[in-house]
Amino acid sequence: MENFRISLAAARVNAGLTQAEVAKILHISPNTLVAWEKGKSEPSISQGRVLGELYNMPLDSLIFLPSISIKFDKTGDSNTWE
């Protein structure tokens, strides 16, 4: 999730926290946080809530849902979600 990766790293920097500080607070390895920020894995919802509190942001501000495209057939009826 590209947007999540960017907003997660930016929110941490904006909060004035280092990766090591956040990892210690969350009781995770710094490598785990690096993976989240690089988009290689994602935090659980409960971890995301803690991140939101640390960064003084609601969880939904950290997560941007990918856009959904709808394909239409020749009649104009939607029949496929991507």
pLDDT along the chain (82 residues), means of 10: 64 92 96 90 89 86 52 51 42
pLDDT for residue 79: 46
Give backbone dihedrals phi and psi of 68, rounded to 5 degrees, phi first.
-110, 125
Helix (H, G, I), strand (E, B) or coil at 79: strand
The structure's pTM equals: 0.68
pLDDT at residue 18 in the model: 94
Contacts 24+ apart (CB under 8 A), 24-31: 25/50, 25/54, 26/50, 26/51
CB 48, CB 11: distance < 8 Å: no
- Residue 42 and residue 24: Cα distance in Å, rounded? 17
